[in-house]
Structure 1
Amino acid sequence: MNIILLGPPGAGKGTQAQRLIDSQGMVQLSTGDMLRAAVKAGTEIGLKAKAVMDAGDLVSDEIVIGVVSERLEQPDVQASSGVIFDGFPRTSAQAEALDGLLAEKGMTLDAVIEMQVPDELLVGRIEKRAAETGGTRADDNAATLKKRLATYHKDTAPLVEYYRGTGKLRTVNGDQPMDDVTAAILDALAVSA
């Protein structure tokens, strides 16, 4: 089963991805982690990404798709029960590119889980996470979150309509206890823990 976790920053996507990894044997594909790994490994696509990142620019969709394509070929992904796309796609153009990539590889996207959490609650979550972790994440502050939320609503939220149109969108209330969110996701995917 291949899924996308979609939701604003602080919605709990990382936490829920880890729970799916543990209970379902899936592999999380985080584009940030994949880009860093490709750069470190010195792959052709990693070298392209490094040049762009070193210049302080955003990595192009073409490079991101290349990194995702390389990652889908890795043995752990091949041996898994499916993948969780986390942080990708972020735009409709990336969603269309992902559809094409999966089709090329004989794979399908089974579901898109939208984790809904009101913006005002996210600020409290981020501040709590920053306090618990000692601010280890540079983006764990209200000002950065507000900027990231604006970007999310502008660029990523339109994916909700894109995936609703494909019939793959499943919405869960992300503003409930973690175990309840996990149960709602598993129910939406029609699998058991």
Structure 2
Amino acid sequence: MLQRAKVIAQVAQHAGIKPDILQEALKPTVTAIQRSVPSWVFLGPPGVGKGTYASRVADALGIAHISAGDLVRTVMKEQTELGRKVATVVNEGNLLPDSYVLQLLQKRLQEGARRGEEGVLLDGFPRTRAQAESLLTFSDVQLALNLSLREDVLIAKCLARRNCKECGKNFNVADIDLPASPTAPAIKMPPLMPPSGCMAYLERRSDDNFTTVKRRLEVYHSEAKPVEEVFRQAGVLKDFHITGGISETFPRLLAALQARGSITEEKQAA
């Protein structure tokens, strides 16, 4: 692994900020965590199900689920200068600058460290090479699981996402049933419908429209390969292809995770 000073210099260059500023910003996080909290990373494009699977894995294993999307949406609702800047970038379908994302994640990890979290599952972070390199300097990454799904299915699922503004839970009303072709396996993914009590409170995210979703996928794919390469070089990347719904995918996912990473070993030994 690269020396920390060299990594910080590379991160600063990619993020467009001065190395000494990034060094100072990282200092409290590194001091608090000291790489003692193991972490898993869920990679994958919008709509692949990172949040759905990450929340279930976290509940099953009793670890913290940190969603980059939730952190972003929370700060967007806070009428602060950073929140307004974040909202402008997100609503245009672009990825946030690394400096914004690092600020949000570092604050959350510091809060978790003070609460004594034993492990974290990162959902939707990192999304750029600079973020990935930075993460390896202050977190003990056990595994980066790279989730993938056909793009036409991704678009359909993104357009079908719904959130309950009453309870805060996420659902998906898409009913995917595609036969196998000579180049692709069959995909059957039933909808994740809300209970009747949530139906009157469902809403679609303002940025979940075809134009923005398509743009978001294009931006994601342009950034994904460098991120995958960082984790591949670190020896922690594993590809995971999704071809079914939760009932078919979740057991496979747990098996893949339990085959790698000290978080499950510690939980099973407890």
Which band: TM-score by shorter chain?
Answer: 0.7 to 0.9
Partner of 1:122: 154
Q: Deviations over 1:17-49 (max 9, x none)?
A: 11012101121222343345567789xxxx662
Q: Give the conservation status (yes or no) of the 8 Å contact 1:92–1:158.
A: yes
Q: How has the CA–CA distance of structure 1 residues 76 and 18 changed in structure 2, closer, same or farther, with 3 Å as cutoff?
A: farther
Name the SS for the 2:65 alignment partner. strand
Q: Give the conservation status (yes or no) of the 8 Å contact 1:29–1:84.
A: yes
Partner of 2:196: none
- C-alpha distance in structure 2 between counterparts of 1:135 and 1:176, whole Å: 25
For these two proteins, the number of residue pairs brought into alignment is 183
Paired letter, 2:235 = G
Name the SS for the 2:47 alignment partner. coil
Partner of 2:136: 99
Identity percentage of aligned residues: 31
- C-alpha distance in structure 2 between counterparts of 1:119 and 1:80, whole Å: 35
Q: Could you say what the CA RMSD is over the residues aligned between the two structures, in angstroms? A: 3.0
Paired letter, 2:48 = A
Partner of 1:141: 209
Q: Which of these two proteins has the greater Rg computed from alpha carbons?
A: 2
Paired letter, 2:65 = Q
Paired letter, 2:145 = I
- C-alpha distance in structure 1 between counterparts of 2:249 and 2:102, whole Å: 29
State whether structure 2 residue 118 is matched by structure 1 residue 85. Answer: no
2:83 to 37, 50, 53: 50
Partner of 2:14: none
- C-alpha distance in structure 1 between counterparts of 2:247 and 2:226, whole Å: 28
More RCO (CA 8 Å, sep 6+) = 1
The TM-score, its normalising length taken from structure 1, stands at: 0.78
Q: How has the CA–CA distance of structure 1 residues 90 and 138 changed in structure 2, closer, same or farther, with 3 Å as cutoff?
A: same
Runs of 4+ with >6 A deviation: 39-42
More strand by share: 2
Paired letter, 2:157 = R
Name the SS for the 1:19 alignment partner. helix
1:27 to 52, 64, 71: 64
- C-alpha distance in structure 2 between counterparts of 1:158 and 1:38, whole Å: 27
Q: Deviations over 1:82-123 (max 9, x none)?
A: 111122111001111111232xxxxx0111111111112212
Q: How has the CA–CA distance of structure 1 residues 179 and 156 changed in structure 2, closer, same or farther, with 3 Å as cutoff?
A: same
More helix by share: 1
- C-alpha distance in structure 1 between counterparts of 2:240 and 2:102, whole Å: 27
Q: How has the CA–CA distance of structure 1 residues 67 and 124 changed in structure 2, closer, same or farther, with 3 Å as cutoff?
A: closer
Paired letter, 1:173 = H
Q: Deviations over 1:49-97 (max 9, x none)?
A: 236337x357542332232122112247743341111221110011111
Name the SS for the 2:41 alignment partner. strand
Partner of 2:223: 155
Give the unaligned 5+ runs of structure 2: 1-37, 90-94, 163-171, 174-198, 259-263
- C-alpha distance in structure 2 between counterparts of 1:189 and 1:123, whole Å: 27
Name the SS for the 1:74 alignment partner. helix
